[in-house]
Amino acid sequence: MKSEKRAFVTAADLLIIAALLLIGFFAYRYVYSGPEEESFELDYVVKVAAVRSELSEKVAVGDEVYSADGAYMGRVTAFESRGAVLTTTGKTVPDRSDLYITIEASADGDGLVSGYEIYVERELSLHTTGLSFDGVCISVR
């Protein structure tokens, strides 16, 4: 008499099923993820207040800018150094400069630059290879 073959599920079968499910999941995500939102160029200006004048020459057009956690935040396209002015009194501070650094960056479809939302009055801690600075965004276009 022919012995009856019993169906049973082994660990290997479960592994294969899990692998197939994962493949299916990623295939679904790939196919139905919808059209990618287009990135766009963003220019923003960061004002760095009252920097010692000897540090104000450490930034140059073309420098790449990174956040404190190392995210790429764009490239310096314009740079201006003006005598620092106290906002409360309007008096000029000797040997201190206000830096205006224009940065061009690529924003994703949600308007984020490397995950950072850029908006006016946003405080940013950034650095190039020549200078670390804390500033506030004063313009976005």
Partner 1 sequence: MKEKKFTFGVLDVFLILVVILSAAGIAVRCVLTDENGILARTPEKTSAAVQILIEGIENSSSDYFSEDAVFTVGSGDDEGRLMSVTVQPAEYYVENENGELEIAYEDAENGRRDVRCTVVVEGYYRDGIFMLGGKTPMLPGSSVPVSGGGITVTALIIDTAPIDGDT
Is residue 58 part of the contact set for partner 1 (CB under 8 A)? yes
Q: Which position among 4, 54, 110, 121 is part of the footprint of partner 1 (CB under 8 A)?
A: 54
Is residue 101 part of the contact set for partner 1 (CB under 8 A)? no
Buried b (16+ CB within 10 A) or exposed e, 113-131: bbebebeeeeebebbbeeb
3-state secondary structure of 25: helix
Task: Choose one: 1-9, 21-29, 84-92, 112-120; the region binding partner 1 (CB under 8 A).
Answer: 84-92
Nearest to 112 by CA among 79, 80, 67, 76: 67
Q: Which position among 87, 106, 129, 139 is part of the footprint of partner 1 (CB under 8 A)?
A: 129
Task: Choose one: 34-42, 48-56, 104-112, 114-122; the region binding partner 1 (CB under 8 A).
Answer: 48-56
Cα dihedral 98/103/109/110 (nearest 10): -20
Instruction: Give, as ranges, the residues between 13 and 42 that touch partner 1 (CB under 8 A).
Output: 15-16
Interface contacts to partner 1, rule CB under 8 A: 12, 15-16, 51-52, 54-55, 58, 70, 86, 91-95, 127, 129-133
